Amino acid sequence: MIDLLLDAYQYFLANQSRFWTAATQHLWISSAALAISIAAGLPLGIWTAHEARIGQWTINLFGALRLAPSLAVLFLVQPYLGIGTMPALVALTLLAVPPVLIATYAGIRAVDRGVSEAARGMGMTAGQILWRVELPLALPSIVGGVRTAAVEVIASATLAAFIGGGGLGIFITRGYALFDTRIMLVGAIPVALLALMAELSLGWMQRRLASGLDAAT
């Protein structure tokens, strides 16, 4: 195993330019998909949490989307958007929206109705209740959804290489095609480390927010 890792490192040293280009593409497409999913999933989650009848249907629909395999989503968008970065970005965004939306919905719905009613009784408007009461209390749940989405996007972005989207998946697909494990490791190890960093950092943030809320109540 050590020899294999050393061989992978030697391959990395000989192909640094291609590696950093692929790593930059991977980070860009993952960050963009996550940012768009937050921009779309957060307001939609807030809206569904306040619309009980339609909200449950929406949650069920997006919950079903989470069951779709990542590779299937990539190939589903390819006939409409072609190949390249754009279809990969759209597919990754579709994968990342459901966990953000569902976590936001769950976080807002978990807020004690008595707290919201008390805020309303103090004269707060609906917007003030949302920003000053509901969102702060739901923040640990929302960060948990972003954490799940980030790990899924970073891991699934390796599949973008199948439709010409670039990223570190290029090394994995090339290594697989050539039956060369050292090339696959040059792509797989950084992706695993990036996913682990996202999991640990956002998990730490979620726990800090939750403990802060516990201390305040």
Return the CA Rg of the chain: 21
How high is the pLDDT of residue 77? 72
- For the chain, the domain total comes to 1
Domain presence at residue 93 = yes
Inter-residue contact 62 to 102 (CB < 8 Å): yes
The stretch 125-137 carries a mean pLDDT of: 87
Domain presence at residue 107 = yes
pTM equals: 0.86
Query: Which structural domain range is residue 153 located in?
Result: 1-209
pLDDT in tens, 35-60: 999 999 999 999 988 887 777 788 77
Q: Using pLDDT thresholds of 50, 70 and 90, give the confidence band for residue 188.
A: very high
Contacts of 105 (CB under 8 A, 6+ apart): 45, 48, 49, 55, 59
Domain presence at residue 23 = yes
Inter-residue contact 162 to 173 (CB < 8 Å): yes
Domain presence at residue 40 = yes
Give the tokens for residue 102.
């569902």
How high is the pLDDT of residue 100? 94
Match 């950092």 to its residue by tokens: 201
Q: Using pLDDT thresholds of 50, 70 and 90, give the confidence band for residue 126.
A: confident
Q: How high does pLDDT run on average in the chain?
A: 86
How high is the pLDDT of residue 216? 64
How high is the pLDDT of residue 122? 83
pLDDT in tens, 60-119: 777 777 777 766 777 777 777 777 788 888 888 988 999 999 999 999 988 888 888 888
Q: Using pLDDT thresholds of 50, 70 and 90, give the confidence band for residue 189.
A: very high
Q: What is the CATH number of the domain that holds 16?
A: 1.10.3720.10
Inter-residue contact 74 to 87 (CB < 8 Å): yes
Domain presence at residue 151 = yes
Domain presence at residue 41 = yes
Domain presence at residue 215 = no
Domain presence at residue 216 = no
